Each structure stands twice: as structure tokens, then as C-alpha cells.
Amino acid sequence: MANISSRKSAMTLFTSSTCILSHCARLVVQEKGVPAEIEFFDPNDPPEDLLELNPNGNSPTFVERDLVLYDARIIMEYLDERFPHPALHQMDPASRANARMLIKRIDQDWYPLLEEVQSLGDKKNTKAKKMLKESLLAAGPVFEASPYFMSEEYSMIDCVMAPFLWRLPSVGIEITGLGKGITAYANRLFTRKAFQESLTPEEKNLMPASK
């Protein structure tokens, strides 16, 4: 810890340049203006100083002095509490709990399907791609009901959805084919200054038409 403390800022986010979970954490950093140093690394070859703090070399890993966090959702929640303005969760406990349940559903239902589509070749991912597209189409009314995900205001749920939606065209699922509600919602997320600043060059290339 002494070595990394001597050459890093008070807060460092170790992150992959393409990992969707790392992107979520970077997005929260940008949305909240967190004064953290972002250090990119190859998850297949993590640096020694990171392995000293987190032997698994997970991406993302967040370090603040003696605190080491290596779960993206925990990192995001910590940053929201550590830097309360602007808040990404509503203040009342019931609303916060409901938002966390929605994020859990997204993590369980949509993220695994995207990962499956990405990991399989074009000839093998047809079923997973169809399931993902149909699931999003079925959720159309949710995206049409309010400007953000089941909310009038931008929230932590949108920080989870934005990196997910950004990756869909790269696996052959065009957002415009998912309905006007999702298209408008995605455009709202993608045009935010924080989202644009969260993108790495590699992630920008996932949607060339957006350049």
C-alpha cells in the first residue's frame, strides 16, 4: 500500500478500457465529478501494484487510501454516498431499495444475455440475441413512461443502462429497431456530457455512427 500511495492520487479507479462494469463505474465518476485518477490496465495482465491490493486483479478496482473495493456496483454505491451531490439515488429508503432491486434485475436478466451474445460467434448467438431483443421490446412501455428509467430524473439505474445500450449495436442489435421509447431514452443518455467523457477510444468504436 505504501508504494501505491506514494505515486497515486488519494483515489484511483483501476479499469479496463472495454469492460461494461468498468464503464459503469467510470460513468458514475464523471456524473459526480469525483476527483479520482483513472488508470487503465489489461485484465489479462494486471499490474503488480494492483495485485498487491486486489490479488484477483478485478476490473474495476477502486482504491482510496486503505479502502479497496472491487465490485462495480459497490464502487458505484460508495461513490454516490461519498460524494452526495448530485445524488444518483432518491433520498427515501424505499425508493433506494426499489432502485437497487431494479439494478439487480437488469444484472440478472439483460447483462448475462449481452455477455452470451458477445462471447458466442455470429453463428451461435442467434438464440441469445433473439431473447435479448424480445425482452427489450417487451419492456418498451417502461421506456416510454418517463424520461429516464422509471423516473423523471437521471439515476443510478441509468448509469447501469447506458453502457449496456451503447454496446447493443456492436452485437447486431440496432437501438432504433427496439422502438421509439428506447431510442429516445438511449439518445438522452448518450448525449449527456458525463457519458461522452466516460467513453474510451475503444468504446467509442462500438458505435461508429455516433461519432
The reply to whether domains 2-82 and 93-199 share a CATH topology is: no
User: What's the confidence (pLDDT) of residue 70?
Assistant: 93
Residues belonging to the chain: 211
The single-letter DSSP state of residue 197 is: H
pLDDT over 50 (residue 7): no
pLDDT digit string, tens, across residues 121-168? 777 788 999 999 999 999 999 999 999 999 999 999 999 999 999 999
Helix runs in 42-92, H state only: 48-53, 72-82
Tens of pLDDT, residues 45-97:
999 989 999 999 999 999 998 899 999 999 999 999 999 999 999 889 999 99
The CA dihedral of 25, 129, 206, 189, to the nearest 10 degrees, is -50
How confident is the model at residue 49, as a pLDDT? 87
What pLDDT score was predicted for residue 208? 61
**Tens-place pLDDT, residues 186-201:** 999 999 999 999 999 9
* CATH numeric code, 93-199: 1.20.1050.10
- Superfamily grouping for domain 2-82: Glutaredoxin (3.40.30.10)
Is residue 109's pLDDT more than 60?
A: yes
**Domain ranges (residues) in the chain:** 2-82, 93-199
pTM for the complete prediction? 0.92
